[in-house]
Structure 1
Amino acid sequence: MTLYGPGIDGETELHCTPTVVRALELRDQQAYEYPTGIDLIFVTDSGDVTCIPRLVRRRDGKWHM
């Protein structure tokens, strides 16, 4: 998926599991108003870390795997 917004320099591509996609969908369904929201932090079994700030959005409005 292509992500953009605060905390990302331009755009970035994120390749992730269906579990991560679902977590992001659930977060977006909450419709928090600024400045509240949920920053997400994911850690792989090998120790890689990905953080997704609360205001980051998808380029096409849909989550793709």
Structure 2
Amino acid sequence: MSASSLGEAMSEIIRKQMIRRVIVEEAKTVAELLAELEISMDHIVLVDGKKVSSDFVLRMEDNVVVLPKIAGG
């Protein structure tokens, strides 16, 4: 992929991103949260800055960031 193609792909990804604030009112796993938000499991999930698995149990005070996987070459 050329640098311009990568730049175009990144621009498209950034344009499609949405920022949501979600308050988790009860313990649930990352997988349950993603399903609730209709987000596919092929994303990277960070909790308080650390990558976690889909079975990680979220707490009310956790800060969660969901990022798309990006591949390049």
**TM-score exceeds 0.5:** no
When normalised by structure 2's length, the TM-score is 0.27
Query: More helix by proportion, 1 or 2?
Result: 2
When normalised by structure 1's length, the TM-score is 0.28
